[in-house]
Each structure stands twice: as C-alpha cells, then as structure tokens.
C-alpha cells in the first residue's frame, strides 16, 4: 500500500516538472540579462552568457535536455552560482529542515496542551485566551512578528542573537549539517546552546501561525469529542477523568489535527522564506525566492520538485499516523 | 544535577554573548554568488571578494587609480601597458605572486569557454584587451586592440588569482575556496549566513565576520544590538534612529549611481525638446532630496556625478519653475498640459509617485505604472519596443569614468540608451573622447558633450544618492568608498 502511494509520486513529479517548466518559460525576463544588467554588459556578452546557460536553445529542447539528464541524476548547473544545482540546494537544505522541524515541534507542544485545556474548560479563561491567541496568531504577519521579537529579545534585552544559525567560534564539526545534531554528536554543549539560542526566535516566528490554527482545531475537536456518548459512557463506568481525556477524548480529537498539521507543514515551507529573510537564516526558502527573481530556472525547477516530494511524503506520514490512531482507516 | 546544568547553560549563554575584542562583524545585504573571481558579475560579490583578493590596480584616496598588486605601470604607447608586480606580494598559501599568475588570470577572463567550457561573465569589462604576455618574472605586458584610456581604471574591477592553485582545485574548487593576496583569508563560508575571514599579516582586528542580512530592519537591529560594527545600505528612514543611539553613527559617501527619468525621445510628447525641458523645470527635485532622501543626495544637471572624470559643475541648472514649464508646454502646443505614464519597478514605486505628483501639479499629468523589474527593463532596453512615455531609471558608474555611463546611456544606439536619444555631435564627441589619450582634450570633449545633453534634456535629470552606512562608535579606520568597497585594512575596534 505504501509502495503504491510512493509510486503515485512519479506522475506527481512529472506533472510538477512540466508545470514548473511551462510557468518559468512563460515568465518574462532573461537570466542572462538579469545577471549582467546591473553591470551594463555588452550585447556580445549577453549572447555569450545565454549560450553558456543553454538559453539559445528552444524551450522544448531545454526541457528534453533537463529530463534526460535528471533521469541520470544530473540536475544541471545553477545559472548564477555556476555550480551544480544539487550542491547549491544541498548546502541550504539542512538549515531549512532544522528550522521547520523546530517550528513543527514547537507548534505541537503549544497547540495540543492549549487546545485540550481550552476544549475541556469551554468558555473558561484558558478557552478565551486560546481563542484570542489563535486569532492573533493567524492574523499577525510573520514578517512583522519576527521583527517585533527581534527588537525585544535581541536589541532591547540582548538575550538572543539577531541573526544567523550559529556563532562561528561555536561551529561543531560538519557531520549532518543539522547543527543541533552535529553539536550533540561532537559532545559540544557550547555549540548546542549557541545553535539553540539562534534557533529560538526564527522557530517561534515560523511556528506562530501553525500553532494558532492547530490550537483552534484541537480545541474545537476536543469540545466535539467530549460531547460524544462514548465519553459519557467512559465517565459513567468510573474511568478516571485524566484517562477519559487522554485515552478516549484526545486520541479521537487528534485525528482532524493530524490532517491540518500535515497541510500546515506544507505552508511552513512557504513561511520559511520570510523568516529566513528576517533572521538571516541560511535556508532554502530565501534561496528559492532569490532564484525566482533571477530567473534561475534549473534551481527553481529542482527546488519545486523537492518541495513536491516533501509535501507528498508529509501527507503519507500523516495518513500512516491517522491509520495508527484510527484503525478503521486503511490506506 | 539540575542546578549544575542550569549553571552550565548560563555559562554557555554568557560565553556566546561576549564579543571578542579583536573581532568585528559587518551586516551585509547579499551573499557572494561564488568565490571564483572570474565567474560572476554582481557588484556585491566583488565587494566581498575584494576582501580576499587584490587586483593589479585599485582606487586610492579620492578614487584615484593606484597600483595594488603592481608596484607601478608604464604606458608604452596608446595600446601597450607594462605592469611591474610588487616583489613582496604573496598569496595566502605563502607563495609569491608572479607574472604567470597575472597572465593566467587574464587569459582565463578573455578566452571564450575557458571556465569549464563557459566564458567568464567579466570578459567585456576588459574592453579591447587583446593579449597579455609575461615579459619577465615580475613584469606583464597588456596589449589593446584600440586605444582605451580607462584601461588602468577598468583593471580595478578584476581580481588576480594564483595559477597553481586554480589548476589544482579547478573551477569547482575556486567557486568555494580561496587563495588570494588580499588583507583577509577565508576561514569558513556558510552560504547565505556568513563569511568568516581572518586578517593576514599585521592588523588591528583578528577576524572579520560578514553576516548576510538582506532585511533592512534586521540589519539595523543588528547594528543597534552591537551584533555588527558596519551595515551597508542603511535605509534613510533609519538614519535618525542610528544617530540617536550613542553607540552608533552614520557614515556616508557619494555613490556612483545617477538617477534620472528617461523620457521617450522617439515619440510625442517627449520628442519635442521644449516638452522635455518643461519636465525638467516642472520637477521640484530639491524637495524630494530634502524630504524623501533626507538630504542624502546631490542634484544633477547632467549624466555625470561630481566625482566622475570630466564632470562639469558649470552646467546650467534646471531650477524649479512651474511658470516656465507651463510656458514651454504651451509653446509646444500643450497649453492644456499633457497626460503621460511613468514606468517603474516595485522598488521605485514610492519615488515614482512623488515625482508624478509634482509633475502633475505643473501640468504634466503623470500616472505611475508599476511593473516587475525585469519586464519594465525589457520594455525600455535599446532593442525594446520603447512604447512608454517615461521610466524612472538609473545607471551605475563604478569606474567613475564617463566611458562607463555617458556612452552606453546617451550615444546613439548605446546599450542603455533607453530614451532613444540621438545627437550626432554628442556621438562624435563621445567617440573622440573614448580613444583620446590626451586627458586635457578628453576632458574638454566630455564637457562639450555634457553641455549639449543638458540643453537637449533627454531625461529629467534627478540626483546622485549617497551610499549610507551605519557604523558602531567603537569602530575606527573605516571610511566608506564611492565604489562600494569595504576597505578595512586599517579598521580597528575598541
């Protein structure tokens, strides 16, 4: 079953490749002009660069060339960095993974307990605060919230650093590229703390909208489940209240939250760009947006493919989790 | 146990908070696209590479072209230049800089397909350079195809690389590793985050950390928090905040980018010189400079900035004069005014709206059309359709020589001649000045050409903004340079 779902990836990836290629081809703007325009290049230089970039070939030929090489594992050269796309993306990927996972964990750690408390104490103070908090969290632009955190915690209080992933003097030896893990592998407490300090503000900023949505979903779902007959039955049987809440109610209330979390994790990928810009975080989101403005076709193409694969896999993981929590569901 | 862990954590936090006295950091807008000095074209990359690599020449005080890796040069005739290398020049690996390195560098830049089958994007910055030969271990001869008086100036844009290192690591290695001869060597490049550099030889600072901070507010926050000692591209809106902070101050220098509104000289209404002159009189540019640019710009009456060779300070100024503008419009048959559109990209939107409002008040009713940068540029390129009326535009001139701005933007068919301006006398003067080796004559030719352009008013001449930096009060020995270079050899932090 899982294999069948994975096989579905093939038409998805093909579709994404075609659509991305068509959209990039239809977008006005020439990467060679963009690369040289700021420096007032001659027509000959532009022509030479277009040739080097393969842009003097018809779009169909470029597409066939890309697909042919991609199947052999060669995704081409980034037009601006003039290095293999896979290397350029690979360098930025760990930072994005680390930030996204941190934001996801943070969202879940906040949203589940808060949603449960709000659901259980309907119309209570926690419920009201959670509702207002959710509304604010969804409405507040990440860009503005990030700057606010930065001014408070980095400029005024100076508790946390303004930007980057780590202080260079605390850099652990490179193993995975995920700094927290590398710091643990190296047994360096200082590196771990430094990486964590750098991670706090970007992760909070990125997690805010997701935490807000999830809190609202868990709260509503919890309230609904608590009204179900099996909950009353469990209580009537004399099952302790904490057991009713955790074992019976929460387990069911989490089902819609899983679907929403999977969708929201997809939007984390988009939200990364803003957070990475505000906090100078060296991730993939910023690179992709810069590449779109530069019409760096090969890089955007591969990054979109990567996003598509990630999105499909996250949804598959969510379905598997859904199945584990609700055995009636089969893939 | 918990107490111990908390104490350790606190110690860790304090440790990572304390700044090392001899280190300094810069908040910089963009990361380098590559570390290969032959394989890029972005000016910001050049600024960063120049911290690690030297050129044959560079800009000294007052933007005078001075030798850098060279100890001197001699112009044999109008086509031949001999450069002698400094005997003490060393690569960061300790080997000496020799003529073979220079020949290798420039051959790589000039030869089509020399970088893994690709041609250097910097090739045309070398103009008519034909060949480069080694005369002896320390002397190199450059031969041009035709006279090009700015050759030593244009050499300031090229960094020299070591032949042996380049052959060893190849293009892929050069893209991510460094072995230059500049004041700093690379310790670590974390793409998109920071470059960690170490001072070579004696200097006040040990490490220089270039932090990549594309967002203006974050860059300013980093400066105010004491996280960095210099930020580039300080927004004018943040000047007061930086000045009000006792630990920070503002440093500025005239930039090299002239701003103008390109008027479409090829179709009505701006094919009439009176309408173009009216547009120049109609705009109260000093008001914009004072209010929007907070005084951080110099008004221009021509194409050249005051620091450029050949600048003519005596050019007649188009003062703000609505009555005169209306009279000129009426004389051109537009007594009811005209309706026109001003093209701009997103970044220029606010400025374009200010310009449009002021023009409208004087009878040039202007609508602003905001487009995506690439599309707008394509529309106004020389080969473009040129259907628009006006374009809020600019042109950078890093060499501070007219050849790099006057020719492309105002010579007939010039690659940046977006207004479609054409004056055979201006063309003749520019052609003569381009190859004139007598600097006095050259100066005179550019002055004559400026006077003609000022009269013909192909653009609304706008201003030259300053390059503004925020710097920490503890920093000394740093003066901003008009070419955007970060000259930090003598920088010191207390």
DSSP per-residue letters across B23-88: EEEEEESS--S-S-TTS---HHHHHHHTTT--BSEEE-GGG-EEESSEEEEEEEETTEEEEEEPTT
Q: Which element (helix H / strand E) includes B132?
A: strand B129-136
pLDDT of residue B4 exceeding 90, the answer is no
Beta strands in B382-483 (DSSP E): 390-396, 459-461, 463-472, 475-476
From the centroid of its chain, how far is CA A129? 27
A290: tokens are 């810069």
CB B485 within 8 A of CB B197: no
| Residue A330 pLDDT | 59
- Compute the distance between CA of residue B306 and CA of residue B465 in angstroms, rounded to an integer: 12
CB A67 within 8 A of CB B71: no
| Residue A329 pLDDT | 65
Check residues B18 and B248 and name the one with the higher pLDDT.
B248
Cite the DSSP H helix spans in B332-417: 349-361, 373-380, 406-410
Q: Across the interface, do A280 and B214 touch by the CB < 8 Å criterion?
A: yes
CB pairs under 8 A between A and B: 168
Residues of B in contact with A280 (CB under 8 A): 193, 211-215, 218
Q: Tokens 């280190």, residue?
A: B23
Chain A interface, best mutation among B171, B220, B221, by max A CB count within 10 A: B221
Q: Across the interface, do B396 and A49 touch by the CB < 8 Å criterion?
A: no
Chain A interface, best mutation among B26, B124, B391, B414, by max A CB count within 10 A: B124
Residues of A in contact with B401 (CB under 8 A): none
Residue of A nearest to B405 (CA): A40
Number of separate helices (H) and strands (E) present in chain A? 15, 0
Pairing mode, strands B230-231 and B70-77: unpaired
Residues of A in contact with B117 (CB under 8 A): 52
Q: Across the interface, do A29 and B372 touch by the CB < 8 Å criterion?
A: yes
Residues of B in contact with A167 (CB under 8 A): 16
Q: Which element (helix H / strand E) includes B194?
A: strand B194-199
CA distance A130 to chain B (A): 30
Chain B interface, best mutation among A26, A86, A168, A192, by max B CB count within 10 A: A168
| Residue B178 pLDDT | 97
Q: Across the interface, do B191 and A91 touch by the CB < 8 Å criterion?
A: yes
Q: Across the interface, do B374 and A295 touch by the CB < 8 Å criterion?
A: yes
| Residue A255 pLDDT | 86
pLDDT of residue A28 exceeding 80, the answer is no
Q: Across the interface, do B221 and A49 touch by the CB < 8 Å criterion?
A: no
Beta strands in B244-372 (DSSP E): 248-254, 257-263, 297-299, 338-345, 364-371
Nearest to A155 among B172, B190, B225 (CB): B225
Q: What is the pLDDT of residues B309-322, one digit of tens each?
A: 999 999 999 999 99
CB A258 within 8 A of CB A71: no
Residues of B in contact with A286 (CB under 8 A): 192, 214
Q: What is the pLDDT of residues B215-270, one digit of tens each?
A: 999 999 999 999 999 999 999 999 999 999 999 999 999 999 999 999 999 999 99
Residue of B nearest to A144 (CA): B217
Nearest to A197 among B16, B187, B191 (CB): B16
CA distance B392 to chain A (A): 15
- Note whether ipTM > 0.90 here: no
pLDDT-based confidence at residue B336 (cuts at 50, 70, 90): very high
Q: Across the interface, do A282 and B36 touch by the CB < 8 Å criterion?
A: no
Residues of A in contact with B346 (CB under 8 A): none
pLDDT of residue B2 exceeding 70, the answer is no
pLDDT of residue B386 exceeding 80, the answer is no
Q: Across the interface, do A28 and B375 touch by the CB < 8 Å criterion?
A: yes
Q: What's the pTM value of the predicted model, to 2 decimals?
A: 0.88
Q: What is the pLDDT of residues B121-139, one digit of tens each?
A: 999 899 999 999 999 999 9
Q: Across the interface, do A80 and B415 touch by the CB < 8 Å criterion?
A: no
| Residue B12 pLDDT | 42
Residues of A in contact with B221 (CB under 8 A): 147, 150-151, 154-155, 162
- Return the sign of the alpha-carbon dihedral for residues B317, B323, B325, B329: negative
Residue of A nearest to B197 (CA): A168
| Residue B230 pLDDT | 97
Q: Across the interface, do A165 and B190 touch by the CB < 8 Å criterion?
A: yes
Cα→Cα distances B366→A244, B158, B219, B285, Å? 69, 43, 35, 16
CA distance B484 to chain A (A): 14
- Compute the distance between CA of residue A85 and CA of residue A297 in angstroms, rounded to an integer: 10
Residue of B nearest to A30 (CA): B374
Lowest mean pLDDT among A222-231, B321-330, B340-349: A222-231
Residue A75: DSSP 8-state: -
B368-376: average pLDDT:
86
Residues of A in contact with B374 (CB under 8 A): 28-30, 33-34, 295
pLDDT of residue A331 exceeding 70, the answer is no
Q: Across the interface, do A280 and B218 touch by the CB < 8 Å criterion?
A: yes
Q: Across the interface, do A280 and B172 touch by the CB < 8 Å criterion?
A: no
Q: Which element (helix H / strand E) includes B230?
A: strand B230-231
CA distance B354 to chain A (A): 24
Phi/psi at B389 (5° precision): -95, -50
Q: Tokens 């969202």, residue?
A: A107
Q: Is the peptide bond before B269 cis (omega within 30 degrees of 0)?
A: yes
Cite the DSSP H helix spans in A27-124: 31-37, 43-53, 59-71, 85-120
| Residue A248 pLDDT | 83
């Amino acid at each position: 079953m899982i294999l069948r779902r994975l096989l579905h990836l093939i038409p998805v990836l093909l579709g994404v490749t075609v659509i991305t290629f068509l959209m990039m081809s239809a977008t006005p703007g020439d990467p060679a002009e963009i690369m040289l325009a700021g420096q007032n290049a001659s027509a000959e230089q532009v022509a030479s660069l277009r040739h080097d970039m393969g842009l003097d070939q018809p779009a169909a030929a470029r597409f066939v060339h890309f697909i042919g090489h991609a199947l052999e594992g060669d995704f081409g050269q980034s037009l601006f960095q003039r290095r293999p796309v896979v290397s350029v993306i690979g360098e930025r990927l760990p930072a994005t993974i680390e930030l996204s996972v941190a934001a996801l964990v943070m969202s879940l750690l906040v949203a589940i307990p808060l949603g449960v408390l709000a659901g259980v104490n309907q119309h209570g103070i926690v419920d009201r605060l959670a509702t207002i908090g959710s509304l604010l969290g969804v409405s507040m632009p990440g860009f503005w919230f990030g700057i606010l955190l930065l001014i408070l915690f980095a400029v005024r209080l100076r508790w946390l650093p303004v930007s980057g992933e780590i202080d260079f003097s605390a850099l652990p030896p490179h193993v995975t590229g995920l700094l927290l893990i590398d710091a643990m592998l190296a047994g360096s407490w200082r590196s771990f703390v430094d990486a964590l300090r750098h991670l706090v503000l970007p992760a909070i900023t990125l997690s805010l909208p997701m935490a807000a949505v999830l809190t609202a979903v868990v709260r509503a779902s919890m309230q609904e489940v608590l009204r179900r007959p099996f909950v009353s039955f469990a209580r009537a049987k004399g099952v302790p209240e904490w057991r009713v809440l955790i074992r019976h109610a929460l387990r069911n209330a989490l089902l819609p939250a899983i679907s929403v979390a999977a969708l929201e994790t997809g939007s984390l990928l988009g939200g990364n760009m803003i957070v990475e810009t505000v906090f100078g975080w060296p991730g993939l989101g910023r690179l992709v947006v810069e590449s779109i403005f530069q019409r760096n076709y090969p890089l955007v193409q591969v990054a979109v493919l990567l996003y598509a694969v990630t999105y499909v896999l996250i949804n598959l993981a969510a379905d598997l989790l859904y199945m584990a929590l609700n055995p009636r569901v089969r893939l | 146990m918990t107490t111990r862990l908390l104490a350790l954590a606190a110690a860790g936090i304090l440790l990572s908070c304390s700044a090392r006295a001899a280190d300094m950091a810069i908040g910089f807008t963009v990361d380098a696209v590559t570390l290969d000095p032959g394989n890029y074209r972005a000016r910001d990359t050049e600024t960063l590479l120049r911290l690690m690599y030297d050129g044959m020449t560079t800009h000294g005080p007052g933007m005078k072209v001075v030798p850098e890796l060279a100890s001197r040069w001699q112009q044999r005739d109008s086509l031949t230049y001999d450069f002698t290398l400094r005997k003490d020049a060393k690569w960061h690996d300790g080997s000496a800089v020799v003529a073979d390195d220079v020949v290798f560098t420039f051959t790589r830049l000039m030869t089509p397909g020399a970088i893994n089958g690709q041609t250097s994007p910097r090739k045309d910055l070398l103009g008519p350079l034909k060949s480069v030969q080694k005369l002896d271990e320390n002397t190199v001869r450059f031969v041009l195809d035709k006279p090009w008086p700015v050759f030593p100036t244009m050499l300031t844009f090229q960094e020299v690389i070591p032949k042996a290192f380049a052959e060893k690591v190849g293009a892929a290695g050069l893209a991510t590793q460094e072995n230059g001869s500049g004041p700093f060597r690379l310790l670590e490049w974390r793409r998109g985050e920071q470059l960690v550099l170490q001072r070579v030889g004696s200097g006040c600072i040990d490490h220089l950390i270039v932090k990549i901070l594309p967002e203006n507010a974050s860059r300013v926050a980093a400066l105010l928090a004491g996280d960095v000692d210099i930020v580039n591209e300080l927004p004018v809106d943040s000047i007061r905040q930086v000045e009000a902070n006792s630990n920070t101050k503002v440093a500025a220098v005239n930039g090299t980018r002239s701003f103008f509104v390109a008027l479409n000289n090829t179709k009505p209404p701006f094919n009439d010189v009176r309408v173009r002159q009216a547009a120049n009189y109609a705009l109260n540019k000093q008001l914009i400079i004072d209010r929007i640019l907070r005084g951080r710009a110099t008004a221009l009456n021509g194409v050249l900035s005051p620091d450029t060779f050949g600048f003519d300070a005596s050019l007649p100024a188009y003062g703000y004069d609505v009555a005169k503008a209306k009279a000129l419009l009426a004389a051109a048959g537009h007594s009811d005014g005209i309706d026109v559109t001003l093209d701009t990209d997103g970044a220029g939107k606010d400025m374009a709206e200010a310009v449009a409002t002021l023009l409208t008040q004087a009878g040039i009713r202007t609508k602003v059309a905001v487009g995506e940068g690439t599309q707008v540029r394509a529309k106004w390129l020389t080969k473009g359709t040129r259907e628009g009326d006006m374009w809020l535009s600019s042109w950078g001139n890093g060499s501070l020589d007219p050849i790099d701005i006057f020719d492309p933007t105002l010579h007939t068919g010039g690659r940046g001649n977006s207004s479609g301006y054409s004056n055979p006398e201006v063309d003749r003067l520019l052609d003569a000045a381009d190859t004139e080796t007598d600097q006095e004559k050259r100066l005179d030719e550019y002055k004559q050409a400026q006077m003609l352009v000022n009269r013909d008013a192909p653009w609304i001449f706008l201003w030259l903004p300053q390059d503004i930096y925020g710097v920490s009060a503890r920093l000394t020995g740093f003066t901003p340079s008009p070419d955007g270079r970060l000259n930090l050899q003598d920088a010191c932090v207390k």
